[in-house]
């Protein structure tokens, strides 16, 4: 037996070349980096959850099909009767399931650039080739570029976030549907930010046999539970179900999600407050000379600012954590992304930013 083992000899080179998804420590900070809902659940609902956990049979495996939860989700999210539902430990896991299922030798996964970084990362995990088609300068879809890339690469899967992260905008729905029609593979529309946008392609599912739609409860206020879902035709979902690990959604997640979804009005009211705060924060940012703020249909705002990396570091030093996107893609040069928080958090962020800008001039 050799007396030393070398991971570099064993692990695939594309994995060795990756850097791990970085989650910065945030203890004690104003945390506006991860698109979390800043509001806790009402105390009555938390008490109900406490009782559920008292009674939960945690010695048993959870319901592997999560039938009851799926039924609740179908009603709460208006999923068409004809569509099946696949549940994931967050929608990240669903992206991974789809990628694994599609990973024939040489198969490609396509998205736009800039997009949600997990599309690219998971493509690599699953041994798919990744193709990223740049958005236009205003972050709209470059439909001609997409159509020619589809013809050239014939991707097995296309992921499009609607609204897009990290840019915050909704793509033109007609352009997305043209991409669906032109695609030889499946197109997954990722509606993680649906609660903050007044648009959805859910009602198009019945029209397009290669369209799948993904949602998550994370941005709605349940990020800690880890529950994502995919709605689509049973021909797709029944195949993907084979890859889903049997107990991927634990009993606490099933019970709590079901209880909270009886009160979607609570979550949607919180989302409404966040939308109002988004408009206020946008006006404040847009009013700063050195800032270009981009309109958002999500619970965050992307903005461009002179010396972005310095501003990001100065904010962090003063206890405000946002996301630095400078250097991650040419279209994101000098761009930062701030999650819309509570009125107090947004105020603290804005005032601190304002102070930093007045100091550095």
Instruction: Summarize as ranges the residues that interact with ligand PLP (CB under 6 A).
Output: 35, 90-92, 116, 161, 165, 190, 192, 216, 218, 223, 228
Nearer to ligand PLP, 155 or 350 (CB): 155
Nearer to ligand PLP, 35 or 99 (CB): 35
Place of tokens 């105390």: 43
Nearer to ligand PLP, 38 or 228 (CB): 228
SS3 string, the chain, reads CCCCCCHHHHCCHHHHCCCCCCCCCCCCCEECCCCCCCCCCCHHHHHHHHHHHHHCCCCCCCCCCCHHHHHHHHHHCCCCCCCEEEEECCHHHHHHHHHHHHCCCCCEEEEEECCCHHHHHHHHHCCCEEEEEECCCCCCCCHHHHHHHHHHHCCCEEEEECCCCCCCCCCCHHHHHHHHHHCCCEEEEECCCHHHCCCCCHHHCCCCCCEEEEEECHHHHHCCCCCEEEEECHHHHHHHHCCCCCCCCCHHHHHHHHHHHCCHHHHHHHHHHHHHHHHHHHHHHHCCCCEEECCCCCCEEEEEECCHHHHHHHHHHCCEECEECCCCCHHHCCEEEEECCCHHHHHHHHHHHHHHHHHHC
Nearer to ligand PLP, 77 or 357 (CB): 77
Q: How far is the CB of 95 from ligand PLP (least distance, A)?
A: 7
Q: How far is the CB of 261 from ligand PLP (least distance, A)?
A: 15
Q: How far is the CB of 219 from ligand PLP (least distance, A)?
A: 6
Q: How far is the CB of 163 from ligand PLP (least distance, A)?
A: 8
Nearer to ligand PLP, 35 or 311 (CB): 35
Nearer to ligand PLP, 84 or 92 (CB): 92
Nearer to ligand PLP, 62 or 353 (CB): 62
Q: How far is the CB of 302 from ligand PLP (least distance, A)?
A: 12
Q: How far is the CB of 260 from ligand PLP (least distance, A)?
A: 15
Q: How far is the CB of 119 from ligand PLP (least distance, A)?
A: 8
Q: How far is the CB of 223 from ligand PLP (least distance, A)?
A: 6
Q: Which residue lies nearest ligand PLP, judged by its C-beta?
A: 90
Nearer to ligand PLP, 156 or 249 (CB): 249
Q: Which two tokens stand for residue 107?
A: 């198969």
């Amino acid at each position: 037996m050799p007396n030393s083992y070398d991971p570099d000899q064993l692990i695939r080179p594309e994995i060795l070349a990756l850097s791990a998804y970085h989650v910065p420590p945030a203890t004690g900070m104003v945390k506006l980096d991860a698109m979390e809902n800043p509001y806790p659940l009402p105390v009555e609902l938390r008490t109900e959850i406490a009782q559920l956990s008292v009674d939960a049979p945690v010695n048993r495996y959870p319901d592997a099909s999560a039938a009851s939860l799926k039924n609740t989700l179908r009603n709460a999210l208006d999923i068409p009767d004809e569509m099946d539902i696949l549940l994931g430990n967050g929608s990240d896991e669903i992206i991974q399931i789809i990628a694994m299922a599609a990973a024939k030798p040489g198969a490609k996964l396509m998205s736009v650039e800039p997009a949600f970084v997990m599309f690219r990362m998971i493509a690599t995990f699953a041994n798919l080739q990744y193709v990223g088609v740049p958005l236009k300068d205003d972050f709209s879809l470059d439909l001609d570029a997409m159509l020619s890339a589809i013809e050239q690469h014939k991707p097995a899967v296309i992921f499009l976030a609607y609204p897009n992260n990290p840019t915050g905008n909704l793509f033109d729905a007609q352009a997305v549907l043209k991409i669906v029609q032109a695609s030889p593979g499946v197109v997954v529309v990722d509606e993680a930010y649906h609660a903050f946008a007044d648009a959805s392609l859910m009602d198009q599912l019945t029209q397009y046999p290669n369209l799948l739609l993904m949602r998550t409860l994370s941005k709605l206020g349940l990020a800690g539970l880890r529950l994502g879902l995919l709605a689509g035709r049973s021909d797709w979902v029944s195949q993907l179900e084979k890859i889903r690990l049997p107990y991927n959604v634990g009993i606490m997640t099933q019970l709590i999600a079901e209880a909270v979804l009886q009160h979607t009005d609570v979550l949607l009211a919180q989302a409404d407050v966040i939308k109002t705060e988004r408009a206020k924060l946008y006006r404040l940012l847009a009013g700063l000379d050195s800032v270009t703020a981009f309109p958002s249909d999500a619970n965050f705002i992307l903005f461009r600012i002179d010396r972005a990396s310095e501003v990001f570091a100065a904010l962090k030093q003063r206890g405000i954590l946002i996301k630095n996107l400078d250097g991650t893609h040419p279209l994101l040069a000098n761009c930062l992304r701030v999650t819309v928080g509570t009125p107090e958090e947004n105020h603290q962020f804005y005032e601190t930013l304002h102070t930093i800008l007045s100091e550095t001039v």
